Structure 1
Amino acid sequence: MSDDARVSQPRLGELLKEWRKRAQYRFGSGSRITQKYLADRTGIGWRTYQALEAGEPRRRLSPATTDALARELGLAADERDLLFVLAARVMPGPGDAADPDAAVMDDLRLVLDSAEPTPAVVLDAMWNVQMHNRAIGIWFPYVREPRANVIRWSLSHPDARTQIVGWDHYVHQWLGILRKHLTDRGARPDVQELVTLIEADPVLRAIWEESRDIRTDVGGERSTLRLPCHGGRPVEIVMHVLSPGAAPHYKVGILTPITPTT
């Protein structure tokens, strides 16, 4: 086993002991948070966890296991990042991000409500809809559906190809975002679900195989929509994507009409 595949840091062991003790205090004494409890809850293995707390060399943890450990310990965002660096030797990527707490989500709700009647939506790193305002629910009713995902709808829903003017141009951007996730985080279930969808569609598969573009995000561009709520007439918009400081792996999408909609 190469040295790069192992972690052996007294600092990691000290922090794990400190965090476990704090978690015991925070969650109360009803159930004791032992090494074995954390090992069982996270799938690490008891001996491996014992070695980690002792600072002994062990194979580094996977991002998924590190995330599970951070959740069990109730770590704050900066502590979570430190655990990833020490135990997994990577910084947490978008797919490893912890969900914002309730107070942050309440603040994001205020942003959406204050944007009315301009359509606005909160998305996570994989473009899953987390919340939306009334206006975007009128423009795009699909955001109300369970597990609504903007990239999935944009790529595969028949309405997208008629409602987004120049769909065949924008599809390269969405595929580029998906390829970035695939490159950074591998074939996670949510990523693989979209790849499987692409491979089953002859049009998407041809573009996917031909293009090697990688794109981090979209935003700041003008586009034209033909939506039923506007009688199918063209409406030009500019889309801005904002990154909340308290939830850096979430994004707020705001669709500002340039063409009058009434």
Structure 2
Amino acid sequence: MNIDGKYAIVASPTDEAQAAAEVLREQHDFVDLKEAEAVIVLGGDGFMLQMLHQMLADRQIKPVFGMNLGTVGFLMNEWRVEGLGQRLGKAKTFTVAPLRMDAVTVDGDRISSPAINEVSLLRETRQTAKLEVHAGGNIVIEELVCDGVIVATPAGSTAYNLSARGPILPMGSKMLALTPISPFRPRRWRGAILPDSTEIAFRVLEPKKRPVSAVADQREVRDVATVNVCLDTSQTLSLMFDPEHALDERIYREQFIV
């Protein structure tokens, strides 16, 4: 039985994802991406992020239903051939607003990039980074000595942020996690949870002696001098999940995994 509506299918270049796409094409009629009302993405979390970034860049934003043919697949549903039409009809949709990173390099170049999971500042050499941290227009830490720092959305709070011992943020919490990576000074600071309306900014201290890169999901900017991060509500993404595999429930359960 064919699926209702105009769906496009996009698969990662792995053999497994390409083979899965061929199986679905034999059973359903798909349209070109530009004509689609929604998109089925086959692959892992990295490929899903890549596709979402491409939609933001092209301003061709459509609801996305992912099926995991990668490793972790936190942003994906289970891969199954059977009952795809019924799954799409019952899918639960979550709206996600990306972060916007505005970085200025030591040479004065200005780069802006969206981030769905997180914006990370990372030391480039063996020396620790020294950062001045601003939140809501105020200097909240005059000198953070660390390997780096992360600003994570609820959707991204279970990724790199969690690995750095940052908090898990429930979907709909309207919060951002500000999490240091291996902080040395201030000794006892372990991060903050801020309203997602907060603009967070960083100034790199000693940027030539202690170079720092800024990474918006998968895009890296080297040798930054300042980085501003805020929620960009002008563009929102819609992720579709099986009701029993919904994103909010998965994030909720992550808090109890020991």
Please say whether Structure 1 and Structure 2 have the same fold, judged by a TM-score greater than 0.5. Answer: no
Which structure shows the higher helix fraction? 1
Which of 1 and 2 has higher RCO (CA within 8 Å, sep 6+)?
A: 2
Counting strand residues as a fraction of each chain, which structure ranks higher?
A: 2
Who wins on radius of gyration, i.e. which is larger?
1
So what's the TM-score if we normalise by structure 1?
A: 0.33
